[in-house]
Amino acid sequence: MPKKIRLGILGGGGDSLIGVLHRVASFINDNYEIVGAVFNPNYEDNVNFAKEIDVPTNRIYKDFDALVEEELKLPEDERIQVCSILTPNFLHFPMAKKLLENGFHVICEKPMTTTYEEAKILQDLLAKSGKVFAVTHTYTGYPMVRQMREMIKAGALGKIHKVDARYYQGWINAIIHDKEKRSSVWRLDPKKAGISSCMGDIGVHAFNMIEFTTGLQIKSLLCDFNYMYDDNVMDVDGTVLIRMDKNVKGVIRASQVATGEENGLAIAIYGEKGAFRWEQEKPNFLYKMSDTEPVQIYKPGHAYNSELSLDGTKLPPGHPEGIFDAMANIYLGAARAIRGEKYNDGEFPTMLDGVRGLNFIESTVASHKQGNVWVDME
């Protein structure tokens, strides 16, 4: 068994949504050990949380700059090897930049940065650094999403006709209708979230799922946002028409005001020979449809699945695995890359996914602001 990879965590404190997902995911395949962190901007909260989860407090730092400075003083075989960036969006870029400049691998939450320009700066830096950079588009880690990708790659659908991805949530209803509340959450503050709320937070996952599963790129798009109130500058709902390679067309629908919806990410890919449909809230069922035959349901862990899909299951069929396992699969792929072991290019979303994501977010905003016009992606 190789030694565990020394992991640092930035953000993801006890008050956060995503911290527990990363901590558990890093633990699941026994590849990582959390050795240092800045879980919170407040040092006392930071140390208290480290004590609560039993992370030694000698490498809990007052802020991110101190973490890099102090870690660099340690011998290389003790130093943090990879840092997970789990803070609000505006901190991703300065943190990732400094980490790459100082020889650390990076696992970064999405959206990777708040601007396309920043994303391209990181891309250049990464190319020079030779380090590993994973962007945690969590849903690509699900075995049935991987299966869909591999079957589409092998030609199961023939020529693709139409793609439809939607990501519907309703949580912002409790905030958006109250003037005070809507000016107090970071996801509606452009200084912290970037130029988009809904498309930047969840539409970008739907975008990534389409490019991940089809292997095709979106070439141009037309977007219509809803901001709900005049004093709110951040989209909370959006519909995007897309044109892809090979004359494939489709739609991305994203909403944070879809009343009653929880985490309704769903994707459907329709082709000449058949279609796939998958829903995040029922992740262990992949539907293969056809005009002439009964619906087939693919499930994880069976020998009929692809190598990439099977690599993402740990238990025999019928033992449901979920979001923690999907994120764990991304951490597993990143661990292989960090150790210089062989890995499949579908095992974790990369810098390219991060850059494409920012290109998408900026294009949707440009399309809406220019009067709902078609905009080319680079």
Of 4, 16, 156, 339, the residue at the interface with ligand NAD (CB under 6 A) is 16
Q: Which value, to the nearest 10 degrees, does the dihedral of the CA atoms of residues 102, 107, 110, 114 take?
A: 0
Asked if 11 is part of the footprint of ligand NAD (rule: CB under 6 A), the reply reads yes
Asked if 163 is part of the footprint of ligand NAD (rule: CB under 6 A), the reply reads no
Asked if 110 is part of the footprint of ligand NAD (rule: CB under 6 A), the reply reads yes
Of 81, 99, 109, 144, the residue at the interface with ligand NAD (CB under 6 A) is 109
Site string for ligand NAD, 118-137 (x = CB under 6 A): ------------------x-
3-state secondary structure of 226: strand
Kindly list the distances between the CA atom of residue 204 and the CA atoms of 81, 197, 331, 360, in Å, as whole numbers in the listed order: 28, 10, 20, 7
**Residue 191 backbone dihedrals phi, psi, to 5 degrees:** -70, -30
Length in residues, the chain: 378
Closer CB to ligand NAD, 87 or 256, in the complex:
87
Q: How far is the CB of 289 from ligand NAD (least distance, A)?
A: 27
Asked if 87 is part of the footprint of ligand NAD (rule: CB under 6 A), the reply reads yes
Site string for ligand NAD, 37-66 (x = CB under 6 A): -x-xx----------------------x--
Task: Decide if 165 contacts 266 (C-beta within 8 A).
Answer: yes
Kindly indicate which of the ranges 12-20, 53-61, 163-171, 216-224 contains the residues binding ligand NAD, using the contact rule CB under 6 A: 12-20
Q: How far is the CB of 242 from ligand NAD (least distance, A)?
A: 21
**Residue 266 backbone dihedrals phi, psi, to 5 degrees:** -145, 145
Task: Decide if 81 contacts 104 (C-beta within 8 A).
Answer: yes
Asked if 13 is part of the footprint of ligand NAD (rule: CB under 6 A), the reply reads yes
Asked if 15 is part of the footprint of ligand NAD (rule: CB under 6 A), the reply reads yes
Task: Decide if 95 contacts 79 (C-beta within 8 A).
Answer: no
Q: How far is the CB of 97 from ligand NAD (least distance, A)?
A: 15
Closer CB to ligand NAD, 171 or 270, in the complex:
171
Q: How far is the CB of 326 from ligand NAD (least distance, A)?
A: 9
Asked if 138 is part of the footprint of ligand NAD (rule: CB under 6 A), the reply reads yes
Is the C-alpha dihedral spanning 290, 292, 295, 301 positive or negative?
negative
Asked if 86 is part of the footprint of ligand NAD (rule: CB under 6 A), the reply reads yes
Q: How far is the CB of 21 from ligand NAD (least distance, A)?
A: 7
Omega of the bond leading into 111 within 30 degrees of 0 (cis): yes
Closer CB to ligand NAD, 17 or 154, in the complex:
17
Q: How far is the CB of 10 from ligand NAD (least distance, A)?
A: 5
Of 5, 7, 80, 91, the residue at the interface with ligand NAD (CB under 6 A) is 91
Closer CB to ligand NAD, 16 or 115, in the complex:
16
Task: Decide if 265 contacts 244 (C-beta within 8 A).
Answer: no
**Residue 238 backbone dihedrals phi, psi, to 5 degrees:** -160, 150
**Residue 365 backbone dihedrals phi, psi, to 5 degrees:** -65, -45
Asked if 238 is part of the footprint of ligand NAD (rule: CB under 6 A), the reply reads no
Asked if 10 is part of the footprint of ligand NAD (rule: CB under 6 A), the reply reads yes
Q: How far is the CB of 40 from ligand NAD (least distance, A)?
A: 4
Q: In what order do the strands lie in the sheet with 286-289?
A: 296-298, 286-289, 275-279, 264-271, 160-168, 249-255, 237-244, 218-226, 375-376
Asked if 17 is part of the footprint of ligand NAD (rule: CB under 6 A), the reply reads yes
Asked if 190 is part of the footprint of ligand NAD (rule: CB under 6 A), the reply reads no
Q: How far is the CB of 52 from ligand NAD (least distance, A)?
A: 13
Residue partners of 45: CB distance under 8 A and separation at least 6: 13, 14, 15, 39
Give the Cα separation of 64 and 93 in Å (integer): 12
Kindly list the distances between the CA atom of residue 251 and the CA atoms of 37, 117, 164, 276, 370, in Å, as whole numbers in the listed order: 40, 26, 5, 15, 19
Interface with ligand NAD (CB under 6 A): 10-13, 15-18, 38, 40-41, 64, 86-89, 91, 109-110, 136, 138, 201
